[in-house]
Amino acid sequence: MLRLREIRARRGVTLRELKRLSGVTVSCIALYEAGQGDPQLSTLRRLAKALKVTVAELIGEQPFEKGGRRRGTHQTKE
């Protein structure tokens, strides 16, 4: 999850701040940023919420929008 490091850096959030915002330990965040470990969906949701992105943006399935506009994980037709 190298995308986690990129998004965190662009947001200007330190590892300790992300821990405080998400409740995920610094050691786990560091492992995920290094591409090690496999976070559970609930952990991905907490990290995404703390960074104000979608889970899809966090894992690289959608492009990360620098402006921080928060989108849903799916779109509905009107």
Give pLDDT tens digits for 48-68.
Answer: 999 999 999 998 876 666 655
Percent of the chain's residues with pLDDT above 90: 67
Give the homologous superfamily in CATH for domain 2-59.
lambda repressor-like DNA-binding domains (1.10.260.40)
Whether pLDDT at 11 is above 80: yes
C-beta of residue 46 within 8 angstroms of C-beta of residue 24: yes
* pLDDT value for 17: 97
pTM value > 0.75: yes
Phi-psi region of 61 (alpha: psi -120 to 50; beta: other; left: phi over 0): alpha
Q: How far apart are the first and last CA of the chain?
A: 34
